[in-house]
Amino acid sequence: MEIKRDRYLQQLIDSQWDGQAKVITGIRRCGKSFLLHTLFRKYLLSNGVDESHILTYRLDLAKDLRYRNPMTLAFAVREKVEGKPGQYYLFVDEIQMSRKIPDPYDPDGEKITFYDTLNDLLTLDNLDIYVTGSNSKMLASDILTEFRGRGHEIRLHPLTFDELYSAIGGDRNEAFDQYMFYGGMPVVLQRKNDTAKMAYLKSLFSEVYVKDIIQRKRIQHPELLEPLIDVLSSAIGSLSNPTNIYNTMVSVNHIKESQNMITQYIDHLKDAFLFAECKQYDVKGKEYIKQPLKYYSEDIGLRNARLGFRQQEATHIVENIVHNELVARGFSVDVGVVKSTEMKNGKKDDISREIDFISTGGNGKKFYIQTAYMMPTPEKEQSERKSLLLVRNAFPKIIVQRDTVRRWYDDDGILHVNLIDFLLDESILQ
């Protein structure tokens, strides 16, 4: 089964021969290698590129272990490309596995890293470079500095519902129910039954993500990492902060380590792309609120697996899915806060109301979005509308809900749209 990843493939196509290293980042097993080695390679071959001119090194495989040495990699590529006719493409997988080595000409100086290798290879006019990596701090935050302005990030996410549905088809409601439960990790589609799917997702945490973080971050207390993941998974869509999470772990897990350590471990989970942080933004005050904030799982199926597929709160799951959808479409996403003074029991009371998402596009256009799995009563509908009505600007306001069968505008100009329609139709946010 070949799954289309057109959004990311187009980014690779558009960035060819731009003089920069294309850094494809994302959680491990989300399809980075498939995008590069299958979809993009197929595109290149169909456009006349000779297969011998596509150089491939996969640092997560035993056959390419020696190329974790950045100088060995640089020498091997230069030998094949330098001074040779034609254009070459370099694909390097899981570049964060590259080692730091002593400088043979200055053993006591700074160590040589893959940044040095890529900066060196970028001087070859007949080489176009593409690398993948699974650690945000090592890659994304250093692209502009370490690559001296000659690299940019292409962030890959697990499958959106649209990508998954384009592959499996069928009844879209049944497909979405599967997506709510198993998420969008591509390999899940290859598992033939529920037992195999659940086992695969559970093993990703224990055998891939947790072990990788412990090894690469040199975790001093690995026994804290898994309960921390459980707490974050349970709290998706809820306002929280590292202090609250720490207090929960003290109470439930009886930990004795410092709060700073828990905060550091949360950062490691974010760096591995397992969780995303979403800050609150005061709409009227036009400023960010430092805390509390929200955490969302990069993939809802991984989150469900982490909790043994027991906590199936549809409201929070849908909110997580919509958050991930907005991020995948390239929006900057915040949690909105609207403050107002209202009468309560005959007295004025300062109220803070939440808007699930303020989504800002690259053109500066904003969308204010509320999510609701179901709105069975007028009171529930009014509650969802209240926050949006307090926003006094002309940007679109949208309520995304599962239980509406058509798109319609209410008397206040708020668009009500079916959840599945929203996920399948990007034109709604245009």
| Domain end position, chosen among 155, 190, 218 | 155
Does 105 reside within a domain?
Answer: yes
| Residue pLDDT, tens place only, 26-81 | 998 999 999 999 999 999 999 999 999 999 999 989 999 999 999 999 999 999 99
Does 23 reside within a domain?
Answer: yes
Is the pLDDT at 140 greater than 70, yes or no?
A: no
Alpha carbon 180 to chain centroid, angstroms: 17
**What is the bridge-based pairing of β-strands 275-282 and 347-360?**
unpaired
Is the pLDDT at 141 greater than 70, yes or no?
A: no
Is the pLDDT at 178 greater than 90, yes or no?
A: yes
Please give the backbone phi and psi of residue 297, each rounded to the nearest 5 degrees, phi first.
Answer: -75, 140
How would you label 371-398 residue by residue, b for 16+ Cβ within 10 Å and e otherwise?
bbbebeeeeebeebbebbebbeeeebbb
* Same domain as 131, residue 226: no
What is the average pLDDT across 303-314? 91
**Is residue 366 classed as helix, strand or coil in its secondary structure?**
strand
* Same domain as 185, residue 148: no
Does 250 reside within a domain?
Answer: yes
Q: In sequence order, which residues have a C-beta less than 8 Å from that of residue 140 and are 6 or more positions away?
A: 23, 25, 153, 155
What is the average pLDDT across 249-266? 85
Determine contact, residues 275/295, Cβ cutoff 8 Å.
yes
Given this model, what pLDDT does residue 180 score?
A: 97
Lowest mean pLDDT among 164-168, 221-225, 347-351, 375-379: 347-351
**Is residue 380 classed as helix, strand or coil in its secondary structure?**
helix
| Residue pLDDT, tens place only, 205-230 | 889 999 988 988 888 888 889 899 99
| Domain end position, chosen among 123, 155, 187 | 155
Does 167 reside within a domain?
Answer: no
Does 265 reside within a domain?
Answer: yes
* Same domain as 140, residue 36: yes
Q: What is the DSSP code string of 302-337? A: HHHHHTTT----HHHHHHHHHHHHHHHTT-EEEEEE
Domain span at residue 16 reads 6-155
Does 165 reside within a domain?
Answer: no
If one counts the domains in the chain, the total is 2
* Same domain as 200, residue 336: yes
* Same domain as 117, residue 261: no
Q: Across all residues in the chain, what is the average pLDDT?
A: 91
Lowest mean pLDDT among 143-157, 260-274, 300-314, 342-356: 143-157
pLDDT over 70, % of the chain: 96
Given this model, what pLDDT does residue 345 score?
A: 72
Does 166 reside within a domain?
Answer: no
pLDDT band at 145, cuts 50/70/90? low
Q: Which of 116-125, 139-148, 320-329, 348-357 has the highest mean pLDDT?
A: 320-329
pLDDT band at 143, cuts 50/70/90? low
| Domain end position, chosen among 104, 127, 155 | 155
* Same domain as 348, residue 299: yes
Q: What is the DSSP code string of 195-238? A: HHHHHHHHHIIIIIIHHHHHHHHT-S-GGGHHHHHHHHHHTTTS
